[in-house]
Structure 1
Amino acid sequence: MKVEILGAYGGSTDTSFLTSFLIDDFLALDAGCLTQTLNLDGQVKVTDILISHTHLDHTLSLGFLVDNMFGLRDEPLKIWSGKAMIEAMQQHIFNEVIWPDFTQLPNAEEATMAFREVLPEITFSVRHLRITAVPVNHVVPCFAYFVASTETGGCILYTADTSTTDRVWQVANEIDRLDAVIVDCSFPNHMDDLAIASGHMTPAMLAADLKKLKRDCKIMIYHIKPMFEDQMIAELTALNIPNIDMGIQGKTYHF
């Protein structure tokens, strides 16, 4: 299972791209920067997108990707997410005011985009990938996603945006195999009040939460705010978290 880290930051600059991960060329985890990091050939290969939640840094490129694909594919681009997230995207993005409703273009029978509802902790398949969503602790409804390959046996957990949480770590401890966790860490330690209020973590909060994880796996940090990156890397390094991987944007992993 190939996992490409297209964008991994909690803020946007010329070198810091918003959250998007690409699995085996066809499944995207969130849509912060898909059209900024994939050429048109790469975009056409994306057939399915998992949306963790509706905040702009995780959905920004979704409308542009669908627009680019108009007329270039025979099947609709499938957008997978929870009921509340789908309703929010329909109401606030694809509402014919901010952006066209591509579930009705060119017509309902030949739509360019289709929403697919995901239920918590009900595993479903997209090709050879088995996916399970688990709610996490953010300020809007938000799913973490476990993605496992039936071809390689590899499995990753993408926590999405979350503050201190419990259930996702319980599920992580129960499954047969877990190779890596892509986990939120957004603010430096002195901003813990803001991290809690906005549904994110600091390095110290993350270290405490990771004690709930009883697995030996890679810990991949995402969602660092670019303006605090140097400070946060220093704070994360000082914690001596085993198997930690920082600066993951642009890397490709195989599990």
Structure 2
Amino acid sequence: MKVRILGCSGGIGGRHLRTTSILVDNDILIDAGTGVADLSIAELAQIDHVFLTHSHLDHIASLPLLIDTVGDMRNRPLTVHATDATIEIMRAHIFNWAIWPDFCEIPNPTKPFMRYENLAMGETVDLEGRRITALPANHTVPAVGYQLDSGTASLAFSGDTGPCPELWAAVNKIDNLRHLIIETAFSNRERRLAMTSKHLCPSMLVEELAYLQRDVEIYITHLKPGQIELTMQEIEDGVGELRPRMLQNNQVFEL
């Protein structure tokens, strides 16, 4: 399993800031933020599955345009995996004919360009031996994280989350866990905002990582532009012994 980071920023701007999206091999996306737009049309057409952590714009921004761009080049629908709550939000507020066409009905309901597949918390989807499992998260809208398991090794991705004991209970059960990608959206000076918006700041990250019982490589995602250096320094000062690193665009993990 090859995992490539298409976007990992908490905002946009410049050549290297792309919002959350992860490409698994050539055919699976975890979230569909602005990083997806850097793929070629041929690469976009190969994507068969999109797993959404939640419905916020920075995680779904490229999905409507992806389907519009390559829907007629494909011989089967793009499958969007998400919780019932996220699917209902997408139906009501994105693919509603007012913001964007409903591609579950285009070109016709029997052969659409897109289809939804409900994913329950803790459920695992097996795609040719690649196992993707929904993990708990705590955000302002219904949200999940994901475990990506090749059979040999796993990567856990928190998605957007505030403090979440249930996440750590699930992560600590992953015997072959090799990498952990966890968000830290704000610096410590904005701890109150982090709490209100159900994100993490470095001091909160320290509290959360105290629950971690696995020896893993830790990568930080969703850093806000303009606060990157400050936030990473605060993380280093707080949990330096764990040596967390900043996730990078186009970083590749082999599982």
With normalisation by structure 1, the TM-score equals 0.96
Does the 8 Å CA contact 2:53/2:159 hold for their aligned counterparts? yes
What is the CA distance between 1:241 and its match in structure 2?
Answer: 4.3
What is the CA distance between 1:129 and its match in structure 2?
Answer: 1.2
Of stretches 229-238 and 140-149 in structure 1, the one that deviates more from structure 2 is 229-238
Q: Secondary structure at the match of 1:86?
A: helix
What is the CA distance between 1:124 and its match in structure 2?
Answer: 2.2
What is the CA distance between 1:175 and its match in structure 2?
Answer: 2.3
**Residues 37-186 of structure 1: pairs in structure 2 closer than 5 A:** 37-150=38-151, 153-186=152-185
Distance change >3 Å, CA 191–CA 200, structure 1 → 2? same
Q: Percent of aligned positions with the same letter in both sequences?
A: 33
Give distance in 1, aligned partners of 2:212 and 2:158: 12
Give distance in 2, aligned partners of 1:34 and 1:249: 8
What is the CA distance between 1:136 and its match in structure 2?
Answer: 1.1
Q: One-letter code of the match for 1:8?
A: C
With normalisation by structure 2, the TM-score equals 0.96
Q: Secondary structure at the match of 2:117?
A: strand
Does the 8 Å CA contact 1:34/1:43 hold for their aligned counterparts? no
Q: Secondary structure at the match of 1:114?
A: strand
What is the CA distance between 1:237 and its match in structure 2?
Answer: 2.0
Does the 8 Å CA contact 1:221/1:248 hold for their aligned counterparts? no
Q: Secondary structure at the match of 1:225?
A: coil
Give distance in 2, aligned partners of 1:6 and 1:231: 23
Task: Name the residue aligned to 2:203.
Answer: 204
Which runs of no fewer than 5 residues in structure 2 stay unpaired? Answer: none
Task: Name the residue aligned to 1:234.
Answer: 233
Give distance in 2, aligned partners of 1:186 and 1:135: 18
Q: Secondary structure at the match of 1:104?
A: coil
Aligned Cα root-mean-square deviation (Å): 1.2
Of stretches 185-194 and 30-39 in structure 1, the one that deviates more from structure 2 is 30-39
Give distance in 1, aligned partners of 2:189 and 2:109: 50
TM-superposition CA deviations, 1:176-199 (whole Å, max 9, x none): 210111111000011100000001
TM-superposition CA deviations, 1:23-43 (whole Å, max 9, x none): 112111100025422111111
Distance change >3 Å, CA 248–CA 241, structure 1 → 2? farther
Task: Name the residue aligned to 1:24.
Answer: 25
Number of aligned positions between the proteins: 253
Give distance in 1, aligned partners of 2:139 and 2:60: 16
Distance change >3 Å, CA 67–CA 236, structure 1 → 2? same
What is the CA distance between 1:75 and its match in structure 2?
Answer: 0.8
What is the CA distance between 1:127 and its match in structure 2?
Answer: 2.4
Give distance in 2, aligned partners of 1:134 and 1:117: 14
Task: Name the residue aligned to 1:219.
Answer: 218
Q: Secondary structure at the match of 2:67?
A: helix
Q: Secondary structure at the match of 1:232?
A: helix
Give distance in 2, aligned partners of 1:149 and 1:247: 20
Of stretches 95-104 and 167-176 in structure 1, the one that deviates more from structure 2 is 167-176
Does the 8 Å CA contact 1:144/1:159 hold for their aligned counterparts? yes
Does the 8 Å CA contact 2:26/2:47 hold for their aligned counterparts? yes
TM-superposition CA deviations, 1:188-223 (whole Å, max 9, x none): 011100000001000111121011010011111100
Moved over 6 A (4+): none
Give distance in 1, aligned partners of 2:24 and 2:163: 26
TM-superposition CA deviations, 1:121-170 (whole Å, max 9, x none): 122212221121123110100011111013xx121111100011111111
Give distance in 1, aligned partners of 2:228 and 2:243: 19
Q: One-letter code of the match for 2:227?
A: F
